[in-house]
Amino acid sequence: MNTIQLISDSFIENKCNFKQLIERLKEGFASTTIQVPMRHHHDYPNPPEDKDSTLLLMPAFNPGVDAGVKIVTVSPNNGKYNLPAIQGTYIYLDAHKGNIKAILDAKSLTTKRTASTSALASSFLSREDSSSLLMIGTGALAKNLIQAHASVRPITKVYVWGRTLEKAQAICDALSNATYSCTAITNIEDKISEVDIISCATLSPTPLVFGKWLKEGQHLDLVGAYKKDTREADDEAVLRSSVFLDTYQGGLKESGDILIPLNTGIITKEDIKADLFELCNGSKKGRTSETEITYFKSVGHALEDLVAASYFYNEFISNK
């Protein structure tokens, strides 16, 4: 019987090569074989808390090759137990024989694949000479987004904004050995009109990025605001930009950054230029001019999890 490999967050953190993972994701989005059904969302009672919890199941299949499912629970009151509200595991399978090949901790898997997906989009949408980045947000994704973007563009200057200067400085301290400078800032408006790329990964319910601040040629990468009634960028930012999604399947249904302007008539579905499937298979183009402002909305997709699980599994086996 085949041994089930246990792949930890620490292995994923230490063995991630963003350039390689981004290339694998590009191949995955260009593929016509990977199948991804809609994710399962189940709310269930949690009597001890008198509040529902949620179970999310996110499957993907590459027939005859591999398959996987991410299992995530959301328990909103977990803070009082000193536990994260969101916890998860990824089960990676042999799609031919059905056996489990590996179990991966989902936290680092998700942050690495999410950051790499944003950088993949940037490779189509940001200017090739983009050298400066503003990171809005200081959560688990912030450091990864900076590193991933810097792997596809010649970044020399990074600015970080968070709810506290201390948290922003902590991100910069964690990147003190990077090839680019990293500076914590207290005001988004001070730098947002200067940088080439703006990456935003927050839980803010209301916009932090305003279109009046944007300049020609910028690329806007929106990763937070995963609920239908929350958003990170305002209507003017949408109107001034060419809009792209990771997938139509999720992007048109899950995030207020797209849903709110769609529902209010600010934009129509026809205004959305392309998703990553179309960019990666070459059927549609990304940036078309040096002055264009590009706007990418990521909500996540199970294809990304499967590709990342395959990448880290192969790294794990080769390092044994």
Instruction: Please check whether residues 206 and 124 belong to one and the same domain.
Output: yes
Instruction: Please check whether residues 92 and 215 belong to one and the same domain.
Output: no
Is the pLDDT at 150 greater than 90? The verdict is yes
pLDDT band per the 50, 70, 90 thresholds, residue 38: confident
Report pLDDT digits (tens) over 39-72.
Answer: 888 888 999 988 888 898 999 999 999 999 999 9
Name, in order, each residue with C-beta under 8 angstroms of 276's C-beta and a sequence gap of 6 or more.
29, 117, 120, 121, 244, 245, 246, 247
Instruction: Please check whether residues 24 and 79 belong to one and the same domain.
Output: yes
pLDDT band per the 50, 70, 90 thresholds, residue 1: low
SS3 107: helix
Rounded-to-integer distance, Cα 41 and Cα 244, Å: 25
Q: What does DSSP assign to residue 199?
A: E
Report pLDDT digits (tens) over 195-223.
Answer: 999 999 988 889 999 999 999 999 999 99
Count of beta carbons in the 10 Å neighbourhood of residue 294: 24
Find, among 94, 146, 116, the residue nearest to 12 by Cα. Answer: 116
Instruction: Please check whether residues 30 and 129 belong to one and the same domain.
Output: no
In this prediction, residue 145 carries a pLDDT of 98
Instruction: Please check whether residues 236 and 127 belong to one and the same domain.
Output: yes
Rounded-to-integer distance, Cα 214 and Cα 237, Å: 7
Instruction: Please check whether residues 194 and 209 belong to one and the same domain.
Output: yes
Instruction: Please check whether residues 173 and 92 belong to one and the same domain.
Output: no
Q: What is the CATH number of the domain that holds 9?
A: 3.30.1780.10
Find, among 100, 99, 58, 116, the residue nearest to 280 by Cα. Answer: 116
Q: How many domains does the chain have?
A: 2
Instruction: Please check whether residues 137 and 271 belong to one and the same domain.
Output: yes
| pTM given for the model | 0.94
Instruction: Please check whether residues 132 and 166 belong to one and the same domain.
Output: yes
Average pLDDT over residues 82-103: 93
Q: What is the CATH number of the domain that holds 247?
A: 3.40.50.720
Instruction: Please check whether residues 69 and 199 belong to one and the same domain.
Output: no
Instruction: Please check whether residues 103 and 144 belong to one and the same domain.
Output: no
Instruction: Please check whether residues 178 and 249 belong to one and the same domain.
Output: yes
Burial degree of 28 (CB within 10 A; 0-12, 13-18, 19+): buried
Return the beta strands (E) in the chain as ranges: 5-7, 40-44, 53-62, 66-74, 86-94, 100-105, 132-136, 157-161, 181-185, 197-200, 219-222, 242-245, 272-275, 294-297
- Supply the range of the domain harboring residue 177: 118-301
